[in-house]
Structure 1
Amino acid sequence: MDQQKIVEELKATLTEWSAVLSTFSQEEINKFPFEGSWTAGQVARHLNISNSGFLEILNGPESETNRPADQKVELVKSDFLNFRTKMQAPDFVLPKAIDYDKNTLISDMEMVKSKLTEVIRTLDLTRTCTAFELPGYGYFTRWEAIYFVIYHSQRHLHQLKNIYGTLNPIVEGSTINRHQ
Structure 2
Amino acid sequence: MDAQLQSETEKTFKGLYHALAPLSEQQVNTVPFAGSWTAGQVTEHIIKSAGGLNHVCGGPGIAVDRAQDEKVKAIRDLFLDFSVKFQAPDFIVPCNGPHNKEELLTSLRQVEQEIGQLAATTDLSPECALFELPGFGKLTKFELLSFVLIHAQRHTRQLENISRHLMS
Question: TM-score if structure 1 supplies the norm length?
Answer: 0.89
Kindly indicate which of the two structures has a greater share of residues assigned to strand: 2
Q: Structure 1 stretch 130-139 or stretch 34-43: which is displaced more?
A: 130-139
Quick one: distance in 2 between partners of 1:51 and 1:15? Answer: 17
1:1-150 map, 5 Å: 3-150=2-149
Query: What value does the CA root-mean-square deviation take over the aligned residues?
Result: 1.3
Greater Cα radius of gyration, structure 1 or 2: 1
Quick one: distance in 2 between partners of 1:107 and 1:58? Answer: 22
Q: 1:15: how far off?
A: 2.3
The runs of 5 or more residues in structure 1 that have no matched partner are 170-180
Paired residues of 1:22 and 1:106 also in contact (CA < 8 A): no
Q: 1:30: how far off?
A: 0.5
The runs of 5 or more residues in structure 2 that have no matched partner are none
What is the one-letter code of the residue matched to 2:10? K
Of structures 1 and 2, the one with the larger relative CO (CA 8 A, separation 6+) is 2
Paired residues of 1:22 and 1:102 also in contact (CA < 8 A): no
Q: 1:132: how far off?
A: 1.5
Quick one: distance in 2 between partners of 1:165 and 1:86? Answer: 20
Quick one: distance in 2 between partners of 1:6 and 1:134? Answer: 19
What is the one-letter code of the residue matched to 2:15? E
Q: 1:66: how far off?
A: 2.7
Quick one: distance in 1 between partners of 2:116 and 2:149? Answer: 12
Paired residues of 1:46 and 1:93 also in contact (CA < 8 A): yes
Q: 1:136: how far off?
A: 1.2
Quick one: distance in 2 between partners of 1:139 and 1:147? Answer: 13
SS in 2 for 1:109: helix
Paired residues of 1:43 and 1:156 also in contact (CA < 8 A): yes
Q: 1:21: how far off?
A: 1.0
Q: 1:55: how far off?
A: 3.7
Task: Indicate whether 1:160 and 2:137 are aligned.
Answer: no
SS in 2 for 1:18: helix
**Identical-residue share of aligned pairs (%):** 36
Count, aligned residues = 168
Quick one: distance in 2 between partners of 1:63 and 1:112? Answer: 24
Q: CA-to-partner distance for each residue in 1:147-166, whole Å, 9 max, x for gaps?
A: 10111011000000000111
Q: CA-to-partner distance for each residue in 1:112-153, whole Å, 9 max, x for gaps?
A: 101110111111111111112121111110111111011101
SS in 1 for 2:52: helix
Q: CA-to-partner distance for each residue in 1:83-122, whole Å, 9 max, x for gaps?
A: 1111111111000112000000000000110111011111
Question: TM-score if structure 2 supplies the norm length?
Answer: 0.95
